Structure 1
């Protein structure tokens, strides 16, 4: 997969609304863009405290479904979430204590990719759900380009 990867710059901003508290996270990193068949993959790292990193993989399938996998070895946390426009999906959070089922409801999603020069946007507005309770509202905004 790495042989046909293209180096890109990734800018990600995430707004999180949990229990009335709004948190904003911004990530700017270099990453890799790969296309295999009708699916595209974006890989990049998130810098954490103490010089640790979390690896992030964003996959957009040919059917428009978006998968986001985040692995932070230093904190023993990994998550795998799925997003389909206007649908509920099952995902999970793996901790050192076991696996927690997390669901998402994708309120809105939009993917735009331009091939020359390579650039794109992936926007997802979603609710994160645990045990049938919404635990947060999220706005995921990813922009990438060469």
Structure 2
């Protein structure tokens, strides 16, 4: 099984529409690209206030499903969301008070990766759903390059 790992520059832009309010988040960090078999992993940190950080792992499975895991130990929050083109998926948010089920509906997803030179784009447009209610619309745009 082939295992390739490379340092990459990661730029993540997230656009969130919740209750009619639009917010934009931009993260630019150094990260690690790893390929194990046909699965691809991108790991990087998100800088938070007070010199804290959250670790983010994006996994692209060999069948094209995208998993996004975010862990912020300082706030006791961890989320794991799954994205499959045009499908509903079950995920969750782990808090200090317990686990909240969070579902996603992936309206659109696209992954483009070029191996030489190593670079890629991961785009996900999705609805975040709690208790059968859409609580937000998201646009996730990740670009990386070695």
CA distance in 1, matches of 2:79, 2:65: 16
Task: Compute the displacement of 1:5 (Å).
Answer: 1.7
TM-score in terms of structure 1 length: 0.98
**In the alignment, what sits opposite 1:47?**
47
CA distance in 2, matches of 1:94, 1:59: 19
Structure 1 runs, 4 residues or longer, greater than 3 Å off: none
Task: Compute the displacement of 1:4 (Å).
Answer: 3.6
Task: Compute the displacement of 1:100 (Å).
Answer: 0.0
**In the alignment, what sits opposite 2:106?**
106
TM-score in terms of structure 2 length: 0.98
SS in 2 for 1:5: strand
CA distance in 2, matches of 1:64, 1:114: 15
Deviations 1:54-101 (A, max 9, x none): 000000001000000000000000000000000000000000000000
**In the alignment, what sits opposite 2:76?**
76
Deviations 1:24-53 (A, max 9, x none): 000000000000011000000000000000
CA distance in 2, matches of 1:67, 1:75: 21
Which consecutive unaligned segments of at least 5 residues does structure 1 have?
none
**In the alignment, what sits opposite 2:89?**
89
